[in-house]
Amino acid sequence: MEELRKVYKMGSVDIYALRGISLDINHKEFVSIMGPSGSGKSTLMNIIGCMDRPTDGRYLLEGVDIRSLGKDELAHIRNKRIGFIFQGFNLLPRHTAMENVELPLLYNGIAGKQRRERAMEALSKVGLAGRAGHFSTQLSGGEQQRVAIARALVKNPPLILADEPTGNLDSRTSTEVMEILQTLNEKNGITIILITHEKDIALFSKRIIKLRDGEVESDSIIEEPIRAVEFTGEKR
Amino acid sequence: MRGLNQIYMVVKIALRALGRNKMRSALTMLGVVIGVGAVIAMVAVGQGASKAVQAQIASMGSNVLMVHSGSSFHGGVRGGAGSVTTLTGDDARAIEKECSAVDLVAPTLRTATQVISSNQNWSTMIIGTTPSYQFIRSWPVESESGSFFKQSDQDGASKVAVLGKTVSDNLFGSQDPINQTVRIWKIPFRVIGVLSGKGQSAQGQDQDDIVIVPLSTMQKRILGVTNIGSIFVSARTPEDTFVAQQQITDLLRQRHHIQPGQDDDFSIRNFTDVAATADATTRILTILLGSIASVSLVVGGIGIMNIMLVSVTERTREIGIRMAEGARERDILIQFLVESAVISILGGLIGILLGTGISYLISSFAEWPTLISKGSIILAFLFSGSVGLFFGFYPAFRASRLEPAEALRYE
């Protein structure tokens, strides 16, 4: 039941579209999707994230065909099943870290006390419990991205989708973020799909899928992923 | 219930979003504040005027009819109303006895002359009438020691006078005029009362510039005549005035032997007509002022729509984030609707305060009576709320139809 399978085919005349991609991503995998710009990474990411529907082909998320679902049902899946981490962090301006993390729970109708507890718990996991009351603009880039990870985590999702999560960060904070993602993958068994164009970052994952011109160019397993914890030297 | 809770959360989100952008919220609100304020103030001015007019009409005496003697007609030359003296005291008594819709009757006779006190004089209008007059005109005597004259004064042609407030002020100033003597055509009259102030009539005359004496005294001692000038009549109820008018017309035509087809030799003025006209005029004034003011409310609503549209564009990314985190279309729709509704309702409340303040200022500085009715407040409030929903709907709809993937990409 917990198995995440994805079969995806798409045929289209659009230049940017995907031209028939078939993938299987299993539960508890840590996959990197790589490719130059225009290779269809973002389109694929939007479809995996249930923000867009394929014009053709099938996408099964946990055995459910996404194309058969309405917009509200997609919103519900985004709210419960998928955590998002973006390159630009995408935190709400003029809102505190706490309020940002609470956001998915608000749309899930979870009431006050329980909501705050869960948000605080998620912030603790990324080591930001002490900054809950800070506005997102008062936080550093690394901290903002950790708030975003907390916002993804608070949903307890089986899948986290990270779109260039380190694109706006320096190498040290990038490694920190990757360490968190690795921990989540290994300890919490969360499936992670990482979209990046940086080879260094992709090497933290266990499997790399390369895209080119809307098709899968290569799909390889990394035998020895880099251990981020060895760089940061932190113990979690 | 997930649904209800959800709406509660979205309302909370909307309030939070408004709070995070106080300046923009306040400026948007300003349009509604001014609109509602203008409506409240203008309607208050109009209704105040209308109430003032009604008060004036009431001061003439409610359900009052005036029967004047007719105009003379000699060789093609017509005199004015009252130029012939066709009405008699018997006519007045007949009206009182025979017309069922009539309550009280007061025959009157008037003349303009000088009134002299010990050291002052004043030219005014003397009215000779019967005690019913003060009840028809609902015109009480002012001080406790004073009184209106009685039927016995009328029967005995007593030399007693009741002064209007203006006359009393001019002849006696701050002195108590009761039991003082005034002379009219060299005849001494004892002052027995002063009438309470009635102010200006609808025609702008000072109604208090008057001296009232018994009709018999007026006829025998002052003018030396037996006829009367006009008859004040009160109908039993305001609705009865038209019936009374018809009954009086029929009775007088019969008594004066007027053939069918011939003109009346008298005329009847109905104050209810005057009242209705004045009332309609001020009502039109109220509607006019109110509708001019509502234009500014509509402009305020367009202001909301404008800001909300800009805000939807400006917050496209925010909408994208919310959608990625699980907001459904209707969550976004409700959020933006609630935002504009809150702006307009809050603006409406502040506008009601503003309008009340403005009308208070108008009445205290411009000395124009204003009246703030519950109705205008409720109306303005409901109107501003629906303005917010109406003009907020389109921007909210646009926001809700954004594609999450595109909205997130928006810079």
Q: Which of B235, B264, B293 is the last residue of a domain?
A: B264
The residues spanned by each domain of chain A are 1-81+159-236, 92-156
Q: Give tens-digit pLDDT for A91-144.
A: 888 888 998 998 888 888 777 788 888 989 899 888 888 888 888 888 888 889
Would you place residue A2 in the very low, low, confident or very high pLDDT band (cuts 50, 70, 90)? Answer: very low
Domain A92-156 matching CATH 3.90.1300.10: the answer reads: no
Q: Does A66 touch chain B (CB under 8 A)?
A: no
Between vectors from CA B132 to CA B129 and to CA B133, what angle results, nearest 5°? 55
- Interface A-B, measured as beta-carbon pairs within 8 A, has a size of 78
Contact (CB<8Å) A91/B5:
no
Structural domains in chain B (count): 2
B110 with B220, same domain?
yes
User: Which of B12, B13, B324 faces A84 most closely, judged by CB atoms?
Assistant: B324
Inter-chain residue contact B328 with A103, CB threshold 8 Å: no
pLDDT digits (tens, 9 = 90+) for B296-349: 878 888 888 888 888 888 888 888 899 988 888 888 998 888 888 888 888 889
| C-alpha to C-alpha distance for B333 and B173, rounded to whole angstroms | 73
Could you say which of A94, A104, A109 has the minimum Cβ distance to residue B325?
A104
Collect all residues of chain B within an 8 Å Cβ-Cβ radius of residue A46. Answer: 405
Give tens-digit pLDDT for A188-223.
889 999 998 888 888 888 999 888 877 788 888 887
Alpha helices in B192-270 (DSSP H): 215-217, 241-255
Q: Are residues B237 and B93 in the same domain?
A: yes
A200: tokens are 């260094």
Distance CA A152, CA A79 (A): 9
Helix, strand, coil tally for chain B in percent (to 5):
55, 15, 25
Of B13, B20, B330, the CB nearest to A106: B13
Whether the predicted pLDDT of A235 surpasses 50 = no
Q: How much of chain B exceeds pLDDT 70, in percent?
A: 92
- Cβ atoms < 10 Å from Cβ of B385: 17
Question: What would the CATH number be for the domain defined by A1-81+159-236?
Answer: 3.40.50.300
Q: Which residues contact B261 (CB under 8 A, 6 or more apart)?
A: none
Nearest CA in chain A to B408: A90
Q: What angle do CA A141, A143, A148 make, to 5 degrees?
A: 95
Query: What is this model's ipTM?
Result: 0.87
Nearest residue, CB atoms, A78 vs list B21, B325, B409: B325
* Across A23-36, average pLDDT: 86
Q: Which residues of B327-364 are buried (b: 16+ CB within 10 A; e: fewer)?
A: bbbbbbbbbbbbbbbbbbbbbbbbbbebbbebbeebbe
Could you tell me the residue range of the domain that residue B173 belongs to? Answer: 85-264
**DSSP-assigned letter for residue A108:** T
The residues of B whose Cβ lies within 8 A of any Cβ of A are: 2, 5-6, 8-10, 12-13, 16, 20-21, 317-318, 320-331, 403-405, 408-409
Tell me the sheet residues that pair with A194: A32, A162
Cβ neighbour number for residue B164 with a 10 Å cutoff: 24
B50 near B368, Cβ under 8 Å?
no
CA distances from B349 to A93, B65, B109, B182, B220 (A): 29, 46, 57, 60, 67
Q: How far is CA A210 from CA A12, A13, A170, B134, B274, in A?
A: 20, 21, 24, 106, 93
From CA B137, how far away is CA B139, in angstroms rounded?
A: 5
Task: Please indicate, yes or no, if residue B98 is contained in any of the structural domains.
Answer: yes
Same domain, B121 and B240: yes
Structure tokens at B390: 């109406």
Model confidence at B403: pLDDT above 80 = yes
CA distance B399 to chain A (A): 15
Q: Token digits for B242?
A: 């038209």
